[in-house]
Structure 1
Amino acid sequence: MGRVRRALTGPSAIAVLVVAVAGVGFGLYWFQPWKLWQDETVQEALPGAVSTPAPPASAPAPAPSDEPSGQSAPATGPHTWASGELISHEHATSGTVKLVRLADGSHVVRLENLDTSNGPDLRVWLTDAPVRRGRAGWHVFDDGKHVSLGRLKGNKGSQNYALPADVDPSDYRSVSIWCDRFDVSFGAAELTRA
């Protein structure tokens, strides 16, 4: 009995216990399994798409325009340059992706009605890779040219991700919800020019 008690409280037993606790802690940090049950919804409006309310009935009439009769100033609102539907890869994923040119000439990737799983270290990537269905499409997005547009703001909702000024959107053909920790796509969309 004394020998068993010494074995359970000896230095080697304590070392094994410390290694086991450290292994469990590392596994929890690395996989973050609780995120599978936590949803984060983010609803952002498209930049520059704010509608102008109609003037009240008592407002004065607008001043005459210097524009010649029959001509108006060009529309300066956002324009969808390309779009696509998200397909599922490692996790069930749905929604629409739009590459939008804003009035100031900048571009954003817009995720609309996104619905995917939460996970550790999810990013939004603009890539030059083709979108493939099934397991064949899980790992292709880091093989070629890609730009990380930042961390996924929420696994549900509609969100905007600005393209850096030096990125030419015509060099890219797809968007992936990319898990940087495990180098795998949760879902992706092939972009088709509008």
Structure 2
Amino acid sequence: MTSILSKIALAAVFAAAVSAPLTAQADVVSGGTFTGASDHITTGNVSVFKTADGGALVILDSNFSLDGAPDPRVGFGKDGVFAPLSDLGELQDLGGTQVYKVPASVNVDDFNEVYIWCLQFGVPLGVAALS
């Protein structure tokens, strides 16, 4: 899905976010649990962090799993509607811990859901309501 260098870079971002106490480096602002959609099985937890530098991260937990689909993406939505401009990139793997940096143009406070979205067919594969 992504190159080895991209995975290494994302692992470094994740390591930096959790190597120091989270209160000093990043604060969890919301989290949720995925439920499948469009006849797909999507499970696991997600957390949204705000970092000390004003940025944000979306972290899929080690228990994350997707049964497979073409062109899965990670992004935000609100009240059952995926926001295409919030696309954080291609899903790195079908399971396990993954870190996505939120672009400065996306305000995480504007959303109440994290989506695993099939770009090819324009349907949700999984949705996690944030609280």
TM-score range, shorter chain: 0.7 to 0.9
- Tell me the SS of whatever aligns to 2:109: helix
Q: 1 CA distance for matches of 2:112 and 2:118?
A: 19
Number of residues of Structure 1 aligned to a counterpart in Structure 2 = 118
Q: 1 CA distance for matches of 2:84 and 2:16?
A: 27
Structure-2-length-normalised TM-score: 0.79
The question of 1:185 aligning with 2:124 is answered yes
| CA RMSD between the two structures | 2.2
Decide which structure has greater strand share: 2
Q: How far 1:145 sits from its partner (Å)?
A: 6.4
The 1:46–1:189 alpha-carbon spacing in structure 2 relative to 1, beyond 3 Å, is farther
- Tell me the SS of whatever aligns to 1:97: strand
Q: How far 1:166 sits from its partner (Å)?
A: 2.1
Which aligned pairs between 1:121-140 and structure 2 lie closer than 5 A?
A: 121-130=71-80, 140=81
Identity of aligned residues (%): 31
Structure-1-length-normalised TM-score: 0.55
Q: Which residue of 1 aligns with 2:109?
A: 170
Which aligned pairs between 1:1-194 and structure 2 lie closer than 5 A?
A: 44=11, 45-51=14-20, 75-89=23-37, 90-112=39-61, 113-130=63-80, 140-141=81-82, 146-192=85-131
Structure 1 unaligned runs (5+)? 1-41, 53-74, 131-139
Q: How far 1:121 sits from its partner (Å)?
A: 0.7
Structure 2 unaligned runs (5+)? 1-6
